[in-house]
Amino acid sequence: MPGAFPLVGTMAALQEEHFQGADMPTIDPSLRPGTVTKWGEWVKSKPLVVNGVETRWRILGKYDLVSTNDDGTIGLIDCKVSDSQRDTGQFYSPQLEAYAYSLENPTAGKAQSVASLGLLVWKPTHAIGTSVEDYGFGVFQKYIPVERDQENFLKVIGEFITVLEGELPEPGTECGTCNYLVARNALN
C-alpha cells in the first residue's frame, strides 16, 4: 500500500527508525521487558495446512517491529500513522496473526514464540518548529494490544483457501465478472 500512498511509507519508515533498539516498557508499560531488535524484515511461512492437508499457500509479509523479550519470547508491533477510528486490535488482528504464524512456522530458520501482538499508532496532532530547518508534526502515541486468536485466523484463512481452490460457482446472469470468468476459462 505505501506505493499507492507514498507519504505512508515515509512516515512508517520514520516511526520504525525511531524505535530501533527501544526498551519495550518505554513504548508501553504493559509490554514485557525486552528490546526492539528487528524491524522491517520479510517473513515467509511453511505451507499452510487446511483440514489436515498441506496446501501450496504460504504467508509472506513484512513486519514493522519485533522485540526480543527477556523471557526468550518475542513481541510483534505494527506501526500506524493515522487518525482513523478503525485502528483497533480487531481490525488488524488477521494481519498481525499472519506475521506471527510466519514467525512461529518459518520456511527457514528457527521458529519463535510470539508472546504479544500490538499496534503502535501515531496520530498527528499539531505542527511544530520555528523555521524551515525544523518544521515537523507532533503526534499522540497510543499502543493498542491485540489479543492472540490463532484459532480464528487459521479457520478464516482455511475457508479462504478452500474457496480459492474450489470449483467456480455457477454464474448468475447479472454478474459481469462471473460471465467474464466463464468466457475466459472457455479459452483454455
Select from 17, 164, 43, 26 the least CA-distant residue to 96: 43
Residue 168 CB coordination number (10 Å): 9
pTM here is: 0.82
Average pLDDT over residues 167-182: 79
Residue 1's pLDDT is what? 47
- Is the model more confident about 53 or about 8? 53
Average pLDDT over residues 4-12: 74
Query: Is-contact 97 89, C-beta < 8 A?
Result: no
pLDDT band at 23 (very low <50, low <70, confident <90, very high): very high
Select from 63, 64, 62 the least CA-distant residue to 16: 64
Average pLDDT over residues 90-118: 95
Checking if the pLDDT of 21 tops 70, the result is yes
Phi, psi of 146 (to 5 degrees): -120, 120
Checking if the pLDDT of 81 tops 90, the result is no
Grid cell, residue 85, equals: 477510528
Say how far apart CA 45 and CA 107 lie, in whole Å.
Answer: 5
83: CB partners within 8 A, 6+ apart: 123, 124
Average pLDDT over residues 117-139: 92
Percent of residues, the chain, with pLDDT higher than 70? 96
Per DSSP, which regions of the chain are E strands? 34-39, 42-44, 49-50, 53-54, 60-62, 65-69, 74-81, 114-128, 136-146
Checking if the pLDDT of 115 tops 70, the result is yes
Model pLDDT for residues 37-80, shown as the tens digit of each residue: 999 999 999 999 888 899 999 999 999 999 999 999 999 999 98
Model pLDDT for residues 84-96, shown as the tens digit of each residue: 777 778 888 999 9
114 has which bridge partners?
Answer: 74
Residue 10's pLDDT is what? 83
Residue 13's pLDDT is what? 84
Which helix (H) or strand (E) segment holds residue 156: the answer is helix 150-165
